[in-house]
Amino acid sequence: MSEAAPLPAGDLELTRVLLEVRFCARVDRIKLIRRVVEASALMCDLASEHARDVVLAVDEACQNIIVHGYKSQGGGEIVLTLASLDDGLLVELRDQAPRIDPARIQHRALHDVKPGKLGCYFMSAIMDRVEYLPDPGGGNLLRMYKRKDGSS
């Protein structure tokens, strides 16, 4: 991730917010979320292949929140906000799981062929910007951005 200015936060103009949805932190809810994310990305004029990339990044992020944040125990909540920006799509995922230390987020070596531990790698590779932040209300905030033109 480059040292560019931080992505817009919290004070997004209401007209730019496409939707905000709260859902139970359960794997069986992600299928619904994927459809909403894809439709929103297409609404922001992302090419279909980039919309699918955003869906994959959000899917991976939700899986990480559920499995690592909430320890697959259910009962937690995820808040997804999607906002249209002039040149792309902003995705925010908030949770109330124990705060994570972004410095400790690591993916396994790509040459180590086995399942798992690549979600954060995929998110960083797919999205143009990924930020892990503490949520001011407690918990975690993941902010990801995808440009319309697909360039980084």
Give the domains, in start order, of the chain with CATH numbers: 17-147 (3.30.565.10)
Mean of the per-residue pLDDT values for the chain? 85
CA Rg value for the chain? 15
Out of 10-19, 21-30, 39-48, least confident range: 10-19
Record the pTM.
0.85
Distance CA 48, CA 100 (A): 32
Cα dihedral 11, 38, 134, 22 sign: positive
Of the candidates 4, 6, 2, 1, the one whose C-alpha atom is nearest the C-alpha of residue 90 is 6
Residues ≥6 apart with Cβ < 8 Å to 92: 9, 79, 80, 81, 82, 83, 141, 142, 143, 144
Q: What is the tens place of the pLDDT at every residue in 59-110?
A: 999 999 999 999 977 779 999 999 999 899 999 999 999 998 888 876 655 5
State the pLDDT at residue 2: 41
Q: Which tokens sit at 47?
A: 């090419």
State the pLDDT at residue 103: 81
State the pLDDT at residue 5: 55
